[in-house]
């Protein structure tokens, strides 16, 4: 087996004690998320990134040998392949590394920890202690960030008929969608997921604590990356008829002190001129939350803005990796 290290030193934390740098292996590094993770890992000076020779990539024995040398494996594989690799890791016993999975295979599994550190006050600690963490989807990151604090605060009933609308750049749609936009054969804009079975719905409902399945309408625009997720609300249908300021205050309370999630002030929202574009946070791990509301009409629109390849995928994975390895926030 031929193994190469992309960083020094070659001695890993797993084989040489806690004083050395922890070692990480990204399995499936050729896809959009994997490439994004690799790019971000090149900026990390406190981890060792190990790789496997291309001709050994599907060799279970070679992969197992490599995984025995590392502290954490990040899976960027299709669901079925991720399940196969996790089964291999489960068979390794005490020599098994921690695993962070970026597929949808384990996002609602009861024995996995959901990798949205800002989900609840104790979620980051749960991720630190976990051996198996599922990286969130991009759309759910925005939707859950908006909805969960309001449900927890009693401002939004768990059975409320929630509608989530979203637009993303084409980079989140996989190789065929990327190719169609880049060769000019795709339309400028389109709705999709209109069969009510989008793969992000189960995690959105579960971690938002919704008992009624939300309606989710995703769309894709002719730009590479960046995302807006929005939730419209009729305020007079909510318990106690809260104001937009009440919703804003609940979000501010939940995310106070957060490094990556910012609740934008109402005056900031007002100065947007009723417009918000999706690309402002590209290449970052930031998530911005907005509350646009009208006292006159008793209506509100909650909006999350993020990079679907950043906080929506690769950036979140590196954030979770650092928590799982006991490294400082960066």
Residues 183 and 287 in one domain: yes
Q: What is the pLDDT of residue 13?
A: 59
Residues 153 and 47 in one domain: no
Is position 145 within any domain?
yes
Is position 195 within any domain?
yes
Of residues 98, 134, 114, 110, the one with CA closest to residue 14: 98
Q: What is the pLDDT of residue 10?
A: 36
Is position 181 within any domain?
yes
Residues 279 and 156 in one domain: yes
Tokens of 46: 């406190």
Domain at 279, CATH number: 3.30.360.10
Is position 330 within any domain?
no
| End-to-end CA gap in the chain | 34
Residues 113 and 183 in one domain: no
Residues 154 and 295 in one domain: yes
Give pLDDT tens digits for 150-180. Answer: 999 999 999 999 999 999 999 988 788 888 9
Residues 49 and 37 in one domain: yes
CA-to-CA distance for 49 and 63, rounded, in angstroms? 14
If one counts the domains in the chain, the total is: 2
Is position 292 within any domain?
yes
pTM: 0.91
Please identify every stretch of the chain with a pLDDT value under 70, giving residue numbers as ranges. 1-19, 270-272
Is position 299 within any domain?
yes
- Domain with 121, as residue range(s), is 3-136+313-324
Residues 318 and 303 in one domain: no
Phi, psi dihedral angles at 302 (to 5 degrees): -90, 135
Is position 173 within any domain?
yes
Q: What is the pLDDT of residue 1?
A: 37
Tokens of 204: 């959105």
Is position 329 within any domain?
no
Q: What is the pLDDT of residue 16?
A: 46
Phi, psi dihedral angles at 128 (to 5 degrees): -60, -40
Residues with a known catalytic role: 138
The Cα diameter of the chain in Å comes to 68
Residues 286 and 156 in one domain: yes
Q: How many residues does the chain have?
A: 330
Residues 301 and 154 in one domain: yes
Q: What is the pLDDT of residue 31?
A: 84
Domain at 87, CATH number: 3.40.50.720
Burial of 285 (0-12, 13-18, 19+ CB in 10 A): buried
Residues 35 and 104 in one domain: yes
Residues 101 and 176 in one domain: no
Residues 218 and 298 in one domain: yes
């Amino acid at each position: 087996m031929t193994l190469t290290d992309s960083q020094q030193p070659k001695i890993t934390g797993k084989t040489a004690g806690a004083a050395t740098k922890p070692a990480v292996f990204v399995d499936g590094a050729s896809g959009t998320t994997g490439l994004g993770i690799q790019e971000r890992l090149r900026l990390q000076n406190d981890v060792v990134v190990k790789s496997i020779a291309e001709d050994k990539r599907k060799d279970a024995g070679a992969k197992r040998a490599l995984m025995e040398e590392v502290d954490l494996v990040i899976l960027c594989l299709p669901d079925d392949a991720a399940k196969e690799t996790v089964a291999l890791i489960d068979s390794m016993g005490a020599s098994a590394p921690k695993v962070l999975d970026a597929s949808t295979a384990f996002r609602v599994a009861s024995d996995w920890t959901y990798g949205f550190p800002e989900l609840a006050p104790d979620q980051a600690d749960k991720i630190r202690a976990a051996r198996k963490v599922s990286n969130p989807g991009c759309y759910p990151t925005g939707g859950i960030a908006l909805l969960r604090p309001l449900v927890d605060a009693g401002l939004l009933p768990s059975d409320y008929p929630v509608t989530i609308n979203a637009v993303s750049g084409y980079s989140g749609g996989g190789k065929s969608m990327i190719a169609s936009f880049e060769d000019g054969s795709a339309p400028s804009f389109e709705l999709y997921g209109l069969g009510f079975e989008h793969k992000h719905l189960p995690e959105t409902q579960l971690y938002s604590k919704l008992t009624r399945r939300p309606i989710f309408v995703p769309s894709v625009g002719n730009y590479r990356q960046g995302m807006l997720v929005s939730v419209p609300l009729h305020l007079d249908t909510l318990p106690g008829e809260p104001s937009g300021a009440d919703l804003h205050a609940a979000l501010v309370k939940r995310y106070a002190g957060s490094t990556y999630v910012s609740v934008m002030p109402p005056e900031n929202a007002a100065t947007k001129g009723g417009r918000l574009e999706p690309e402002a946070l590209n290449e970052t791990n930031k998530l911005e939350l907005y509350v646009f509301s009208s006292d006159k009409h008793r209506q509100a629109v909650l909006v999350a803005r993020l990079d679907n390849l950043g906080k929506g995928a690769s950036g979140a994975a590196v954030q979770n990796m650092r928590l799982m390895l006991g490294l400082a926030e960066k």
